[in-house]
């Protein structure tokens, strides 16, 4: 019986020593943890998710990582593939391009054709001699009502023409032009008139100008 008690006592002694050592280690660890401070996650810091940063069209679209500081982190491959943007600042030395001003084309105004002449006249040279000649005219009212007519007759000033006898018209002179008037002449009617004139040249002469109410005469 004494032998059994001596064996149990050493076992209990070793168990007590082991428990004491374990408790001591736990106590030392607890003191160290208290001294350093507990390591707890910052639950009070809100997580911020930044919007996707646009990169070049040919590069991949990186997904920002939500960190405590709120700054998105790009993967190295995405940052290398993003093409740098070059901004060119406009300077005052570069002239601005101005569009050439085109002037509108002028409008073409087309005037209506002149109305048909109401009177026509035909001049015919009659007898001629060294110092004189005879001229006749036929004036016709083609359109319009009956009215008076005016014939303006001009000769070369060097010919020295002077009118003498005039029939079926009234004659006046305006410088180098002889003015013959008559009427009224009915529509479709023709008036025949003439004159006798002197000249200072021997050759046969023709009028240098002849009009009836502004319309040219027919020189025969």
Whose structure tokens read 């076992």? Answer: 11
Domain segments of the chain as ranges: 45-53+61-82, 119-219
Residue segments in the chain with a per-residue pLDDT below the cut of 50? 1-2, 4-5, 41-47, 49, 53-74, 76-79
Would the pTM of this model clear 0.85, i.e. be above it? no
Give the pLDDT score at 59.
47
What pLDDT does residue 63 have?
A: 46
- CATH 3.20.20.70 correct for 119-219: no
Distance (Å, rounded) from C-alpha 90 to C-alpha 135?
88
């Amino acid at each position: 019986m004494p032998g059994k008690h001596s064996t149990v006592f050493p076992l209990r002694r070793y168990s007590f020593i082991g428990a004491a050592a374990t408790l001591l280690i736990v106590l030392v660890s607890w003191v160290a943890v208290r001294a350093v401070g507990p390591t707890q996650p910052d639950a009070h810091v809100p997580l911020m998710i930044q919007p996707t940063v646009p990169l070049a069209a040919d590069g991949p679209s990186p997904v920002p990582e939500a960190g405590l500081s709120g700054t998105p982190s790009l993967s190295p491959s995405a940052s290398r593939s993003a093409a740098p943007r070059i901004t060119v600042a406009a300077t005052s030395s570069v002239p601005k391009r101005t569009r050439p001003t085109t002037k509108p084309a002028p409008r073409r105004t087309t005037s209506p054709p002149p109305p048909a002449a109401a009177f026509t006249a035909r001049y015919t040279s009659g007898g001629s001699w060294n110092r004189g000649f005879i001229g006749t005219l036929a004036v016709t009212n083609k359109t319009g009502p009956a009215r008076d007519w005016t014939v303006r007759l001009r000769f070369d000033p060097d010919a020295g023409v002077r009118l003498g006898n005039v029939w079926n018209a009234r004659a006046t002179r305006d410088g180098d032009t002889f003015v013959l008037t008559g009427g009224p002449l009915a529509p479709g009617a023709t008036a025949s008139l003439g004159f006798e004139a002197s000249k200072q040249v021997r050759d046969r002469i023709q009028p240098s100008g002849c009009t009836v109410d502004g319309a040219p005469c027919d020189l025969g």
